[in-house]
A = this chain, B = another copy of it.
Amino acid sequence: MSDDLTRQVLAGSPRALARLITWVEDNDPRAAQCMEALHPHMGRALVVGLTGSPGAGKSSLTDQITHHFRQQNQSVGIVAVDPSSPFTGGALLGDRIRMNRHAADPGVFIRSMATRGFLGGLAQATDNVVKAMDASGKDVIIVETVGVGQDEIDIMRIADIICLILAPGYGDIIQSMKAGVMEIADIYVINKSDHAGADQLYAEVNSRILQDAQIARKKREAPPVVKTVATEKTGIDDLMAAIASCGHAFRESGHMAEKRRERVRRQTFQMIHFALFQRLEAALARDGRLEDLVDAIIEKKKNPYQAIREIVDSFIRIPS
């Protein structure tokens, strides 16, 4: 079953890709088998991340960028992630409406995700979805998240190039600074740049970048700030040029390889963490040890810290 699906994903079947992603989301054991089989075919796609405050216009920009990549004959995968929404329903519907014009295009594959208590976390689930799209042959994968919190930063780390979308009156540049999104952004986009306050926002961002360059970023070129009006299709050429130029510079300088290495390290670590969790859960359920321990702790017959050390020692082959 998973062999069939692997073949179909590699052949570019959108139905197979959709099913694999559902398995990934449901933590179906067949997902792991497929992902393992697909591994040699991963690592080819350019992953572009878009984040920013709700209302800044990320979906409209995603739509425009997708359109331009399609004009260049690049196939596109889109993952829209909403860490604040507990169910996919709302986000999915919204995206479908906005992205309607790409719905019939077999070169575009769209998927929405939201917090659903994914084992291993939302960022890891998103990463697996990106990898599945990558293996299925998508040239460009756009990861779009709502908001500028820690979850969004974790998700953005999946991307090769990170675009922070700001708009006058939508969300707070200070909030982005605090969350550390300003630090990780490669391209700043001032969307709705025809609105009042756009020039001030543009100036703020540039002054912030200047400040940043004086402190930490001397090694790298100052990130570009692009003005767009997504709904008017204004500035999209500039944004596409910035993405292309960023990709080129990152490949040349080794920065992209460095980013990807860091990502593999982080993911490997997370996978080990998760594998440990699963083994432990099964083992403790099997021998009833956890229940005995819980009893002893509640009745204060055992110090939990000491008891936990004993259990950990009994499991482990490596000395601490």
Check A101 for interface membership: any CB of B closer than 8 A. Answer: no
Structural contact, A272 and B117, CB atoms closer than 8 A: no
A127–chain B nearest beta-carbon distance, Å: 12
Check A306 for interface membership: any CB of B closer than 8 A. Answer: yes
Chain B residue at minimum C-beta to C-beta distance from A41: B300
Which of A136-144, A193-201, A229-237, A308-316 lies at the interface? Answer: A308-316
Question: CA of A43 to CA of B314 in the docked complex: distance in angstroms?
Answer: 28
Which residue of A84, A115, A272, A317 has the most chain B CB atoms within 10 A of its CB atom? Answer: A272
Check A55 for interface membership: any CB of B closer than 8 A. Answer: no
Question: What is the size category of the interface that chain A forms with chain B?
Answer: 35 or more
> Could you list which residues of chain A lie within 8 angstroms of chain B, going by C-beta atoms?
32, 35-36, 39-40, 43, 83-87, 90, 115, 117, 149-150, 175, 178-180, 260-261, 264-265, 267-269, 271-273, 275-284, 290-291, 293-294, 297-298, 300, 303-306, 308-309, 311-312, 314-320
- Known pairs A36-B306, A115-B149, A279-B320; list 18 more (Cβ under 8 Å): A43-B300, A85-B178, A86-B178, A264-B297, A264-B304, A268-B297, A268-B304, A272-B280, A272-B312, A273-B276, A273-B280, A275-B312, A276-B312, A278-B320, A282-B318, A283-B318, A315-B317, A316-B316
